[in-house]
Homo-oligomer: A and B are copies of this chain.
Amino acid sequence: MPGRMSADPSLEPLRAQLARIPQVHAMQIRVDGVVDGRMCLHAPLAPNVNDKGSAFGGSLVSLLTLAGWSLATWRLLRASLQAEVYVADSQVRYLAPLYDALQAEAWLEEGDWDTFVRTFAERGRARCRIAARIALPDGADATTFSGRFVALARG
């Protein structure tokens, strides 16, 4: 659904960064955009299916991790800050099998982005906790995620 893709120019550096990751191509991941502060990523089922016809657990957790990473990275890119963002830890719950495309959304779970961006700008280092989910077609949770991310100044 190219119609869902956001033309927001602030997403282009993020898309360019993601395009350098081979698994982003293998999973056919697409950045749909940011809606109400939530980073939305999409991946079709076919390249991400398991042997049972539902979404592969590895693809679910990979997409959730990448959605969180993308949100933190985009917040810094938008502030014209050059950072390396790393995932530090994560907890994932697999609640129901998904037999449809993978739609992930990620949002800040604690604190606020202004503090995160200001802390990074001042110290060259900042942490945040991000939540994410992949929904079933009826809107209920298929898989939920909570993870900590660390941004470090480059070089």
How many copies of the chain does the oligomer comprise?
2
Chain B residues with Cβ under 8 A from A52's Cβ?
A: 84
Q: Tell me the minimal C-beta distance from A29 to chain B in angstroms.
A: 9
Q: Which residue of B lies closest to A154 (CB)?
A: B52
Q: Which residue of B lies closest to A29 (CB)?
A: B58
Q: Which residue of B lies closest to A146 (CB)?
A: B91
Asked if A90 contacts B89 (CB within 8 A), the reply is no
Chain B residues with Cβ under 8 A from A84's Cβ?
A: 52
Chain B residues with Cβ under 8 A from A27's Cβ?
A: 23, 26
Asked if B58 contacts A63 (CB within 8 A), the reply is yes
Q: Which of A41-49, A110-118, A126-134 contacts B (4 or more CB under 8 A)?
A: A41-49
Question: What are the nearest 6 A-B pairs in CB distance?
Answer: A58-B62, A26-B26, A20-B51, A57-B87, A89-B93, A61-B61
